[in-house]
Structure 1
Amino acid sequence: MTDRTDQLEEGLAHALRALDDLSETVARQDREITRLTARVEMLLQREAAREAEGSGGVIFGDEKPPHY
């Protein structure tokens, strides 16, 4: 019976370690998602400001760039 108890304790220790590792990974990914979301929001605001001032034009293939 002791062998079975040892096996269960070892299995539980491995499961707890895996749980800790996964928890750390999820926390790291949450921080990264938060950081990336803030950057996307900043870029969206920057693009909205650029469009509002009218300097966000796109040059199409058949148009000459403004420096010509």
Structure 2
Amino acid sequence: MRRYPTNTTALFYRDRARQAESDAATATLDNVRGRWLRAAKAWDEMASRAEKTAERRSTNEEAKHLAEMDASEDD
């Protein structure tokens, strides 16, 4: 299974949200429009979660790296 960087994943989610919004704008049936708008909202929420996760991961990795450097200096 190929893993994509989180920023690429978030961009993919944002692209899907924009596509769903576009599809909603062209939908002629109210229920179809509503479905596309719900999908767009879900894609945007997934993108936000992916971005927050990437930020937390980066912060945690940086803290871990600094702790390892401090530990190696103490030796």
TM range (shorter): 0.5 to 0.7
Partners of 1:41 and 1:5 lie apart in 2 by: 54
Unmatched 5+ residue regions in structure 2?
Answer: 1-27
Residue in 1 that maps onto 2:68: 44
Equivalences, count:
48
Alignment equivalent of 2:34, drawn from 7, 10, 23: 10
Give the secondary-structure state (helix, strand or coil) at the position aligned to 1:15.
Answer: helix
TM-score, length-scaled by structure 2: 0.61
Residue in 2 that maps onto 1:26: 50
Unmatched 5+ residue regions in structure 1?
Answer: 52-68
Residue in 2 that maps onto 1:35: 59
More relative contact order, 1 or 2 (CA 8 Å, 6+ apart)? 2
TM-score, length-scaled by structure 1: 0.67
Structure having the higher helix fraction is: 2
